[in-house]
Chain A
Amino acid sequence: MLQELTHILQSVPGLTPELWLIAAFAGVIAWDLIDRSEKGSAFHAVTAGILLITSWLVIRQWKELTPGFLFGRMLVIDGKSLYFKLFVLLAGLITVLHSWLTGRKWSGEFFSVLIGLILGLLVLAMAANLLTVYLSLEIVSISSYILTAFRGDRKSAEGGMKYVLFGSVSSGLMLYGMSLLYGITSTLDFLNPAFTRALVETDPLVSGTAVLLAISGLLFKISAVPLHVWNPDVYEAAETPVASFFSVAPKAVAFLVLMRFLSVSLVDFQPVLAVISLATITVGNFSALWQKDAKRLLAYSSIAQSGFVLVGLTAFSELGLQTVIFYLGAYLFGTMGSFYLVDVLSPGRSRNDFTISGFDGLGRNQPLAGVMLTIALLSLVGIPMTVGFTAKLFLFSSLWDGYQLSHSGLFLTLFVFGLFNTAVSLAVYVRIPFALFFRPERAEGQGIRLSPAQLLLGAILTVPVVLLFLRSDWLFNWISRL
């Protein structure tokens, strides 16, 4: 008893950043309630500050804390969870700056819900138990529903509602799978060897069903086929900074949990992942081809990108997992950069209207921003001179290694189709640069002028895209030490 209490007490320092966020969450709500005066962009500054302090706390953890389990194997702290925490905080910070620089006005709840969402993601990054996975995933989902509907117009409420309905179904599926897993293994502690052993001894039909259902909540978060349909509607409904955050942070953490879970379940999941990955890439790319709205296009693109990340998971080697993490890093800059620059350049921003034809000729008007957006988009395609190329190169070489080892036809199919899809995706992304530079200018685009601060954030997001191509070893060495 005493021993357990001591263990719990010792675990508390591992949770400092999260405790700080909980306090900040309450503080922001209280501040908004007590001080009713117009606060302008003060919330943005405060939230950015909070996130910076959290990042500092996480970095301190990195230096001081020894890896291990917290709270009786409920949470786990290791290099990967700390890396992903930083990743989430960076994405959060970019989101806040994005919203700030585009002059959006929010009430205080927006920021507290955003902090809640980040809190959920931080816990999810450490989750080592099916219970904590489920709970933190629900925190993330519920906060996401609210943020989607936050614009307050009909479209946004509709998107939020669809998100809620779809999210609860997948959450139910996931819970069902988890209870099956509990029934099979009689433990929720999925990093425990006993869990793996019990799973291996079970009939593959049963364990396969349980595992697939249990990961369906994660597949929903990464918007993998067939749980991807909500994605475009929600991104279209939500404000651009929110959509940008959704497309990066929850996905990355969901991938981390997926990696953790699959690395212990030992079920032969590679074929099914390969199929999901193939379907996700194809559906994402080909649907993106027909989109007229830049945000919907980016939504489908983020589906396709998830499919590419799944390629790395399918290979499932040490190298494969590292490339997944690398890919996510590259993806953060490419995607958030695209969302941000599409947002600042679009003439219809205040109406939440991002028709691609609205960008006609803007590149000649705003050459710097136009070039930066082009770089970010090319990184999503995977053209050389951007980090996207490096990431895809690593990804497919790890898949090729996997094929050399197993000689599985599925791997080869995935390899060929993945490369084919990369080629197709060029046609998707190049439509925006084409509009920017080769179309005649329109009247409504005349007044677009980017402030120096806006250009600076654009540069902060796009410079790493090129820099990490030139010096990819910086990021990769870091990741390989995790």
Chain B
Amino acid sequence: MHPELLLRTILFLPFAGFLLLILSGKKVDNGAGWIGLCFSLAGLGLTTWLGSGPLSSVSFVWFELKEAFRFGFQVDILSVRMLLLVLFVASLVQLFSIEYMREEDGRYRYFAFLQLFVGSMLGIVLADNLLILYIFWELVGVSSYLLIGFWYQKKEATAAAKKAFLVNRVGDVGLALGIFGVWHRFGSLDYAVLSAAAPDTYLTVIGLLLFCGTIAKSAQFPLHVWLPDAMEGPTPVSALIHAATMVAAGVFLLARIFPILTPDALAVVATIGAMTMLMGAVYALRQTDIKKTLAYSTVSQLGLMVLAVGVGAPQAALFHLFTHAFFKAGLFLSSGSVIHSLHHAGHGFDAQDVRIMGGLRKKLPVTFWAYTICAAALAGLPLTSGFLSKDEILHEAFTLTAHSWKIIFPVTALVSAGLTAFYMTKQWLQVFWGEWRNPMLGFAHVHESTWLIKTPLVLLAGLSTAFVFSLNPLGDHFSPWVAAGSVAVAAAGFGLAWARYHGGVVRNEKELPLLDPLYDVFFVAPVLKAARASAWLDRVVIDNAVILSAKAQVVLAHLAGWTDRYLVDGIPTGIAWLSGWIGGMTRRMQGRAAQSYVIVAVLGLAVLLIWWTW
């Protein structure tokens, strides 16, 4: 098949799936997951085919308006890898969801939105300029909003969806301004023209504005607040969107715009990344919700990727993006498996609270092993994929920042690696080791779910080992000092956690204060105040003006009424009579027929147009 046609088909498939599912409605609830899975698997197959052909030459113009807006898509090695990643994880997540969402109403919506998300994500990956990226960027935001709020009966879910959407808007404003700036500076939005030939303050500002998009989408400080709340959505969604793919789009964007990031901009990027990384890790220490720990861990890992770009190692960042996608999706799906099993065993307790779990390795062996491998990868233990990518970042970072103040960044990364090992060990111990601590549920009732759940776990755990990415399990850029350091730090984190929590002990720990109250004070409250002030203005000033003008109008109306009575009374009476007459005539007219005429005509024109201009 022609590569261009292939590309169009890959991009078109998920949107077709979305339309098919959303239009079919409730009656396809039972088969919705399988339909969605077929679409994603077909996309995956086609992408493999595409990746086996020549890559650099495949690009096409969507359409052109006086050469100003070239809407195109491109394929290079990065986008093919991203395509495979998105479609692969999406397929597993859909397989998982078939079982996980089995008892939900409106599954057709769920799977349709997943398709919409996949389509939008593919658009981001394939875009060859910033405008296209922006369009799909927004679409991704919409589908994320729809999926977080899937359980719209739950107040927390709708609030979280709203929060995610609004916070992302803040970043999008920056991104849009940055795109305007790129247009102004380069006269084009294609990635190809982006270059920092002459770094100056203006370019720094543009770079930072574009970075705002990353801050919001990849949950960087200070806009990270939406991601933990987004865990209100279904767990498979968290795995796909809020761990593996969408949140990584910010890092992907950074890699694409890397050429125009000036040294100053990169310093800011690295600082934000470091802060996010450290903060996410610290928050993760004290979480009691199985998914929230993972959410903060995602924040922290995204911070690490951003930091990697900030110190000048985008390749390492993208490598970590890939490995992270697999092991974090694996972790989320494992937690989903735990939640699902507990839900099925009984009700009336919080199935996500690790304080009332324990000893589950005996009942959920597959989940346990998958979780263990993925957690080891997250902690960066040797022989896992996480070790490879984290070490590459550290290695590059130390090399690039040696002899400058920036050495603080890799050092921070080491510290947070220790914290990561600590909180993952803690959660691992509390969930799978020790005694069963939930008095409301008999331990005997808990059992592993079906193959639909187990298959994705096994595959993702397999992909979290080092052998998938490199034949040498220690990595190609192996540098003994860095590796030794990071392993030592991880071992220290593990040891401390073991000492404190072994046997799955639960300690009474206070939760850390969140940033949200600060936002309430500094942003929400002023906005509300401004709203109240404008309400007051409206009530006192504008209302009175309206009343005054109303009085004036009454006076005028009397004048007009006089004119009306004596001069033009005939016309309205006549019109009233006429409309009454027409109404009587057409009362039983087949309105439907007239409507269908119009639909036939407009659809006919549309078909003609498409055929003609194709």
Contacts and interface: CB of A to CB of B under 8 A. Distances in A.
Interface of A: 149, 153-154, 157-158, 161-162, 165-166, 169-170, 173, 201-206, 208-209, 212-213, 216, 220, 225-227, 229-230, 271-272, 275-276
Contacts of B605: 173, 212-213, 216, 226-227
A427 to B, nearest CB: 25
B608 A212 contact: yes
Contact of A230 (B585, B597, B612): B597
Given A157-B585, A166-B594, A275-B608, A206 B603 contact: no
Given A208-B613, A229-B597, A169 B585 contact: no
A203 B601 contact: no
B594 A161 contact: yes
A226 B598 contact: no
9 contacts: A149-B582, A157-B586, A161-B594, A162-B597, A165-B597, A166-B597, A166-B598, A206-B65, A229-B600
Interface in B362-387: none
B65 A166 contact: no
Contacts of B604: 225-227
Contact of B612 (A157, A170, A272): A272
B517 to A, nearest CB: 51
A154 B585 contact: yes
B60 to A, nearest CB: 14
B370 to A, nearest CB: 50
A275 B611 CA distance: 10
Contacts of B603: 226
B77 interface: no
A220 B603 CA distance: 14
Contacts of A225: 604
B63 A205 contact: yes
B609 A162 contact: no
B64 interface: yes
Contact of A158 (B66, B585, B598, B613): B585
B602 interface: yes
A204 B66 CA distance: 11
By Cβ-Cβ distance, the 6 closest A-B pairs, closest first, are A226-B604, A157-B585, A229-B597, A158-B589, A272-B612, A205-B613
A105 to B, nearest CB: 19
B608 A209 contact: no
A204 B600 contact: no
A213 B603 CA distance: 12
Interface in B550-609: 582, 585-586, 588-590, 593-594, 597-598, 600-605, 607-609
A216 B601 CA distance: 10
A131 to B, nearest CB: 23
Nearest to A276: B608
B598 A169 contact: yes
Given A162-B593, A165-B597, A227-B605, 6 more contacts: A149-B582, A161-B589, A169-B602, A206-B63, A208-B613, A226-B607
Contacts of B585: 153-154, 157-158
Contacts of A204: 613
Contacts of B611: 272, 275
B597 A209 contact: no
A183 to B, nearest CB: 11
B594 A162 contact: yes
Contacts of A229: 597, 600-601
Contact of A203 (B65, B582, B602, B608): B65
Contacts of A158: 585-586, 589-590
A482 to B, nearest CB: 30
A280 to B, nearest CB: 11
Contact of A209 (B64, B66, B582, B609): B609
Nearest to B604: A226
Contacts of B612: 208, 212, 271-272, 275
Nearest to A153: B585
A320 B613 CA distance: 25
Nearest to A184: B66
B588 to A, nearest CB: 7
Greatest chain A CB density within 10 A among B585, B593, B602, B603 is at B585
A268 to B, nearest CB: 9
Nearest to A156: B585
A220 B609 CA distance: 16
Nearest to A267: B612
A166 B600 CA distance: 11
Interface string B503-545: 0000000000000000000000000000000000000000000
A271 B610 CA distance: 12
A212 B609 contact: yes
B63 A165 contact: no
Nearest to B61: A203
A419 B400 CA distance: 79
Nearest to A228: B601
Greatest chain A CB density within 10 A among B64, B590, B597 is at B597
A314 to B, nearest CB: 13
Contacts of B582: 149, 157, 161
B70 to A, nearest CB: 11
A161 B601 contact: no
A209 B605 CA distance: 10
Nearest to B608: A272
A209 B594 contact: no
Nearest to A219: B605
A226 B604 CA distance: 5
Contacts of A154: 585-586, 588
A213 B601 CA distance: 12
Contacts of B600: 226, 229
A153 to B, nearest CB: 8
Contacts of A166: 594, 597-598, 601
Contacts of A173: 602, 605
A173 B601 CA distance: 11
A174 to B, nearest CB: 11
A227 B594 contact: no
